[in-house]
């Protein structure tokens, strides 16, 4: 029987270090992915993700369980991302993963995907990443939380501290900017596009 | 009263796109899209953007964050090999030391002389051994008897030593208690090892479940995107059909 987040949190609060390690193991990748997509730098995303868990560990005695543990973690991570962007005064820059060998990747993919397809996919990935850079922080964060983490509008509104309608507006505006960017880069021209 | 959807209601449009609308809203949007080509095209386009966004993946990196140190294995749990000299009896160690000394002295042929000039130590390779006196007769029988006596004495000594090692003494008793302690220790280690294996198994299971969940989520996302694309195509077809119907309904001049 796999322990739930809440059970692991309770055990961690009783001083069981292994339970907290299990929580880290369970959530490190989603938190890293969130940080990477919001701030766009691999190394900094790692630092933010690690700092998220450190803060969570320190603040654990104060966690009363009103929200889900994952929502609580997302909130810490997003605050850290916001601090990072503000402190560095940087526009998020999305790096392509370093040291990625297209040929090796193609070999890993097996015979299903050709190298040409893979290169094209990487190129499209880069274009999407560049498009995300164009978005204001709040729009980008809303899109990341919705698109890649599957949060509900209400959960995003709670995390961003804004009304539900604002979240929808941010999503609509963000997707529209992305659409124009993708079309300008020669990606699929959607029929009847305005 | 049925709900109405208007072209400028982007909040509902985005909720429709992500499937977070109630049935009444869905029906209203569906009805609108069937007749409004601009909104239908927008929904298709935004669905397409969502599909393309699925291509953007974070790098596959090793994270393995260590926030809390794993509990260190207490030193008592570790079996260490005993030093070899602790298992050899003291008498054997003493005998070995004497043998080494004797062998060394024999090889070196150490000779110690004290004369009026002082105290002199010489070794075999510093001075040749004295040659036997030519005038002294060789008595073979006497030498044989001396060797025989020495061998008998050696045999008796060996017998007594072997006998003494076979007799039970306090050392054997203490060794017995040491064996019991070792058995207890081994049992403890086995139980701890089993515990560790159980924990590892549980961890693996957690990892497996997590991977399955992630994979399932990814699959669901793909399916959802597929449905979105399909919906877009359906809308386009519907729109074309509407156009055909409209054109065919228009009276020919």
Does a structural domain hold residue B16?
yes
Domain-ending residue, one of B18, B38, B60: B60
Residue B48 domain boundaries? 1-60
- Residue of higher predicted confidence among A19 and B98: A19
At A114 the pLDDT is 67
At B133 the pLDDT is 47
Does a structural domain hold residue B203?
yes
Across the A:B interface, residue pairs with CB atoms under 8 Å apart total 132
B 149-168 → A contacts, CB under 8 A: none
Give the separation between CA A112 and CA A106, rounded to whole angstroms: 9
Does a structural domain hold residue B74?
no
Residue A127 reports pLDDT greater than 80: yes
pLDDT digit string (tens) for A79-110? 999 999 888 765 555 554 444 444 454 455 44
- Residue of higher predicted confidence among A140 and B109: A140
Residue of B nearest to A182 (CA): B49
Residue of A nearest to B199 (CA): A18
Does a structural domain hold residue B101?
no
For the A1-95 domain, the top CATH level (class) is mainly alpha
At B81 the pLDDT is 41
Widest CA span in chain A: 60
Does a structural domain hold residue B67?
no
Name the pLDDT band for A163 (thresholds 50, 70, 90): very high
Tens-digit pLDDT string for chain B (253 aa): 567 899 999 999 999 999 999 999 999 999 999 999 999 999 999 999 999 898 888 888 888 777 766 654 444 443 444 444 555 566 667 777 777 766 665 555 656 566 666 656 555 555 455 544 444 556 677 777 887 888 888 888 888 877 766 655 444 445 566 778 888 888 888 888 888 888 888 777 777 877 787 788 778 878 877 877 888 888 888 888 888 887 777 765 5
Give the separation between CA A160 and CA A71, rounded to whole angstroms: 11
At B103 the pLDDT is 64
- Tell me which residue in A3, A32, A128 faces B53 most closely, judged by beta carbons: A128
What's the ipTM? 0.78
- Tell me which residue in B46, B57, B210 faces A26 most closely, judged by beta carbons: B210
A193: helix, coil or strand?
coil
At A132 the pLDDT is 93
Mutate to test the interface with B, among A7, A16, A18, A95 (most CBs of B within 10 A): A18
At A180 the pLDDT is 93
How far apart are the CA of A90 and the nearest CA of chain B, in angstroms? 20
Residue A130 reports pLDDT greater than 80: yes
Q: Which residue ranges make up each domain of chain A?
A: 1-95
- Residue of higher predicted confidence among A194 and A28: A28
Q: Tell me the chain B residues in contact with residue A169 when contact means C-beta distances shorter than 8 Å.
A: 10-11
At A29 the pLDDT is 93
Q: Tell me the chain B residues in contact with residue A128 when contact means C-beta distances shorter than 8 Å.
A: 52-53, 55-56
What is the count of structural domains for chain B? 2
Domain-ending residue, one of B28, B45, B60: B60
pLDDT digit string (tens) for A4-14? 999 999 999 88
Q: Do B56 and A128 touch (CB under 8 A)?
A: yes
- Tell me which residue in B11, B49, B55 faces A178 most closely, judged by beta carbons: B49
pTM metric for this prediction = 0.53
- Tell me which residue in A49, A124, A165 faces B55 most closely, judged by beta carbons: A124
pLDDT digit string (tens) for A142-158? 999 999 999 999 999 99
Residue B26, Cβ neighbours under 10 Å: how many? 16
Residue A16 reports pLDDT greater than 80: yes
């Amino acid at each position: 029987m796999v322990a739930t987040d809440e059970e692991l949190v309770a055990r961690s609060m009783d001083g069981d270090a292994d339970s907290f390690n299990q929580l880290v193991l369970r959530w490190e990748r989603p938190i890293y992915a969130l940080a990477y997509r919001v701030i766009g730098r691999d190394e900094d995303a790692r630092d933010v993700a690690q700092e998220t868990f450190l803060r969570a560990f320190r603040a654990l005695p104060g966690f009363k369980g009103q929200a889900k543990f994952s929502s609580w973690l997302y909130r810490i991570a997003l605050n850290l991302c916001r601090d990072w962007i503000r402190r560095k005064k940087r526009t998020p820059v999305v790096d392509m993963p370093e040291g990625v060998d297209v040929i090796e990747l193609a070999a890993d993919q097996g015979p299903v995907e050709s190298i040409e397809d893979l290169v094209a996919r990487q190129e499209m990935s880069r274009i999407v990443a560049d498009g995300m850079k164009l978005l204001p922080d709040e729009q980008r964060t809303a899109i990341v939380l919705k698109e890649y983490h599957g949060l509900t509008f209400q959960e995003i509104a709670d995390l961003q501290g804004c009304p539900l309608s604002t979240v929808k507006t941010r999503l609509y505006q963000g997707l529209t900017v992305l659409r124009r960017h993708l079309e300008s880069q020669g990606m699929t021209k959607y029929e009847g596009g305005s | 009263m049925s709900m109405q959807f208007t072209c400028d209601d982007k909040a509902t449009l985005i909720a429709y796109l992500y499937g977070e609308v109630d049935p009444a809203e869905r029906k209203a949007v569906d009805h609108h899209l069937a007749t409004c080509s601009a909104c239908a095209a927008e929904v298709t386009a935004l669905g397409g953007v969502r599909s393309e966004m699925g291509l953007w993946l974070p790098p596959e990196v090793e994270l393995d964050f260590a926030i809390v140190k794993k509990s260190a294995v207490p030193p008592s749990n570790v079996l260490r090999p005993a030093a070899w000299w602790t298992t050899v009896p003291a008498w054997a160690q003493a005998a070995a030391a004497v043998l080494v000394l004797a062998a060394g002295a024999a090889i070196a042929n150490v000779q110690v002389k004290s004369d009026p000039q002082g105290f002199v130590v010489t070794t075999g390779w510093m001075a040749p051994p004295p040659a036997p006196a030519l005038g002294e007769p060789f008595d073979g029988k006497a030498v044989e008897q001396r060797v025989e006596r020495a061998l008998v004495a050696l045999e008796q000594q060996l017998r007594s030593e072997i006998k003494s090692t076979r007799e039970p003494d306090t050392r054997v008793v203490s060794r017995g208690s040491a064996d019991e302690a070792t058995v207890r220790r081994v049992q403890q280690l086995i139980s701890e090892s089993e515990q560790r294996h159980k924990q590892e198994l549980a961890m693996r299971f957690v990892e497996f479940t997590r991977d399955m969940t992630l994979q399932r989520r990814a699959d669901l996302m793909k399916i959802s995107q597929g449905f979105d694309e399909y919906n877009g195509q359906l809308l386009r077809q519907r729109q074309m059909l509407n156009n055909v119907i409209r054109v065919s309904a228009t009276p020919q001049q």
